Structure 1
Amino acid sequence: MKIQWLGHSAFHIETTKAKILIDPFFSGNPSFDESTRKDAAAGLDYILLTHGHGDHVGDTIALAKETGATVVANADLAAWLGSRGVSALEMGNTGGTIHLKGFSTTFVNALHSSAQITEDGVSHSLGSANGLVLHFDDAPTLYHMGDTDIFSDMALIQELHQPDIGLVPIGDRFTMGGAVAALACQRYFKFGTVLPCHYGSFPIVDQTPDLFLAAMEPASTKVEVPAVGAVVTV
């Protein structure tokens, strides 16, 4: 499996059977490297969304229309995207699993909100915020936490899914900060590899993973901190 961090919470995942984007926030993302966009869209099969905030939905509508990729999202968010011209949709909700080409994705809890304000100034609730657990036919199980705080039922996610790879928000203010994120990883999970995210983009979130790295020491979990656009092979 190849995992490419595209800045903020955006990731490109590639296995032998599927090419996937998660939370493709490109336009307006201060940390996004525009030179990576073409490759990220090439041959794209799926776009997976954790929740409806603009810094996670990002370029989904344009990418879906450009590539024909299927968008996988919470039912309310999927319906909203459908009203904006996205035709290939797979909708689910918390606790549900969708079986796709070469993998399945399960919607799990996240402690966060999910809404957008449209051009007319109206705020639209877009369903629950979720984390996504991806079980692959040919690769380790991956858990993108979405935007969340720590919560004790993370223990159930570990028990039910036993994820090998964690994509973990650490930037504080809108999610758990580095020290709390490290506690979540160490208390509730048995990750083999962790990649921190949701930092280093906007000035009001933490700019470095230093607090997370310090709190993860000593730890048996391998922490990968790629530069934006770099690929980690797991």
Structure 2
Amino acid sequence: MKITWLGHSAFHIETGKAKILIDPFFTGNPSFDESTRRDATAGLTHILLTHGHGDHVGDTVKIAKETGATVVANFDLGMWLAHKGVTKLEPGNTGGTIHLGGFSATFVNALHSSAHISEDGVSHSLGNANGLVLHFDDEPTLYHMGDTDIFSDMALINELHQPEIGLVPIGDRFTMGGAVAALACQRFFKFGTVIPCHYGSFPIIDQTADTFVAAMDEMKGKVEVPKVGGSISR
């Protein structure tokens, strides 16, 4: 498995059977490296979304139309995307698992909001925010937490899924900050690899992973902090 961080919460996951984008926020993302766009979308099979905020839905509609990739999202967000012209869609909801050929995606809880404000100023709910647990046939189980605070039922997510790789938001203000994110990882999970995200993009969130790394006492050796566009193989 090759995991590439594309800035903010966007990741490219490549396995022998799938090429996956999670939360492809490219356009308008201050930390996105435009030179990575081609590799991120070439041969794409799936786009997975944690929730409906613009910095996570990002370029989904455009990429889906250009590549023919299947979009996986909660039902409310999925129906909104269908209205926008997305035709290959696999909707689900919290607790549900979708089998996608070579891997499955399970929607789990996240403590966050999920909405879109239209041009007339009206806020439209796009379902609950989620994390996504990906089980692969021959690869480590991966958990993208989405945007979230810490919550005690993370223990159940670990019990049910035993994720080996965690993609963890650490930027504070809109998600848990670095110290709390470290507590979540150390109290509730037994990750073999932890990759922080949702930082270093907008100026009002944390710009580095330093606080998180410093607080990851017992798991410090398991933290990987790639540069934007950098990859980790597992």
TM-score of the superposed pair, with normalisation by structure 2:
0.99
| Amino acid of the structure 1 residue aligned with 2:51 | H
- Match in the other structure for 2:95: 95
Q: Percent identity?
A: 81
RMSD, matched Cα:
0.7
- In the alignment, is residue 33 of structure 1 matched against residue 25 of structure 2? no
DSSP-derived class of the 2:229 partner: coil
- Match in the other structure for 2:131: 131
Question: CA separation in 1, counterparts of 2:227 and 2:129?
Answer: 27
C-alpha contact 2:168 2:194 (8 A) present in aligned 1: yes
Question: CA separation in 2, counterparts of 1:44 and 1:211?
Answer: 34
- Match in the other structure for 1:154: 154
C-alpha contact 1:51 1:57 (8 A) present in aligned 2: yes
TM-score of the superposed pair, with normalisation by structure 1:
0.99
Alignment of 1:219-230 (within 5 A): 219=219, 222-230=222-230
Aligned length: 234
CA-to-aligned-CA distance 1:62-96 (integer Å, 9 cap, x gap): 00000000000000000000000000000000000
| Amino acid of the structure 2 residue aligned with 1:36 | T
DSSP-derived class of the 2:124 partner: strand
DSSP-derived class of the 1:55 partner: helix
DSSP-derived class of the 1:128 partner: coil
Question: CA separation in 2, counterparts of 1:4 and 1:113?
Answer: 26
| Amino acid of the structure 1 residue aligned with 2:179 | A
Change (3 A) 1:165 1:133: same
| Amino acid of the structure 2 residue aligned with 1:26 | F
CA-to-aligned-CA distance 1:92-126 (integer Å, 9 cap, x gap): 00000000021000000000000011122211100
Distance apart, 1:218 and its partner CA? 3.8
Question: CA separation in 2, counterparts of 1:27 and 1:121?
Answer: 21
Change (3 A) 1:48 1:222: same
DSSP-derived class of the 2:168 partner: strand
Distance apart, 1:219 and its partner CA? 2.4
- In the alignment, is residue 20 of structure 1 matched against residue 20 of structure 2? yes
Alignment of 1:70-85 (within 5 A): 70-85=70-85
DSSP-derived class of the 2:106 partner: strand
Deviates most, 210-219 or 145-154:
210-219
- Which ranges of structure 2 fall in alignment gaps of 5 or more residues? none
- In the alignment, is residue 118 of structure 1 matched against residue 122 of structure 2? no
| Amino acid of the structure 2 residue aligned with 1:171 | G
C-alpha contact 1:166 1:191 (8 A) present in aligned 2: yes
Question: CA separation in 2, counterparts of 1:39 and 1:67?
Answer: 12
- Which ranges of structure 1 fall in alignment gaps of 5 or more residues? none
Question: CA separation in 2, counterparts of 1:120 and 1:67?
Answer: 31
Large movers: runs of 4+ above 2 Å: 217-221
Question: CA separation in 1, counterparts of 2:109 and 2:10?
Answer: 19
C-alpha contact 1:77 1:127 (8 A) present in aligned 2: yes
DSSP-derived class of the 1:212 partner: helix
